[in-house]
Amino acid sequence: MKKIGLITFTGDLFSFGIRSIEAYLRKLGHEVLTINCTSKEDNYINLLTEFQLRMLAEKCKDVDVIGISLISIHSTNRLKQVYDYLKGNCNSTIVIGGVPVTLNPRMFLEFAELVYSIVFQGLQPTYWSS
């Protein structure tokens, strides 16, 4: 089984999707670490500090796969910052998902050098490839 790290920028209030994924992965037997990348003074738009990035990379250093969930297009700059930092400091596969990725998969294919984006339209997935 894999060790998987799931990152959200929105805290517990809007993390229904990532919590559902976490529960499903645990049911399959994977070890899952969920990181709410927020603080009382923080919002999901601001960039992270160097200290926050180092702590995030430290928590993710032993995971096989990192999943980053995005709730709003407004947190794209933070996503790019975290993606670039983790890509340079972790050997994990990074997966990006969430509403903005579903609505505009081509943008995220270019921006994050992803190979695939999966968009579900009803029950039929559509696969985009870079």
Reduce the DSSP state of residue 7 to 3 states and report it.
strand
Could you tell me how many helices (H) and strands (E) the chain has, helices first?
A: 5, 6
* 8 has a pLDDT exceeding 60: yes
* 116 has a pLDDT exceeding 60: no
How much is the CA Rg of the chain, to the nearest whole Å?
14
Tens digit of each residue's pLDDT (9 = 90 or more) over 12-70: 666 778 888 899 999 999 999 999 887 666 666 788 889 999 999 999 999 999 998 88
Q: Domain residues of the chain, as ranges? A: 3-129
125 band by pLDDT with thresholds 50, 70 and 90? low
Give the DSSP H or E segment for 68: strand 65-70
Tens digit of each residue's pLDDT (9 = 90 or more) over 75-113: 888 888 999 999 999 999 888 888 888 788 778 777 766
CA gap 9, 116 in Å, rounded: 22
CATH of domain 3-129: 3.40.50.280
pLDDT at 121: 54
Tokens 């984006």 sit at which residue?
117
Biggest CA pair distance of the chain: 41
- Residue 75 DSSP one-character state: G
16 vs 44, 54, 99, 128, CA distance in Å? 16, 26, 12, 25
pTM of the model: 0.82
pLDDT at 130: 47
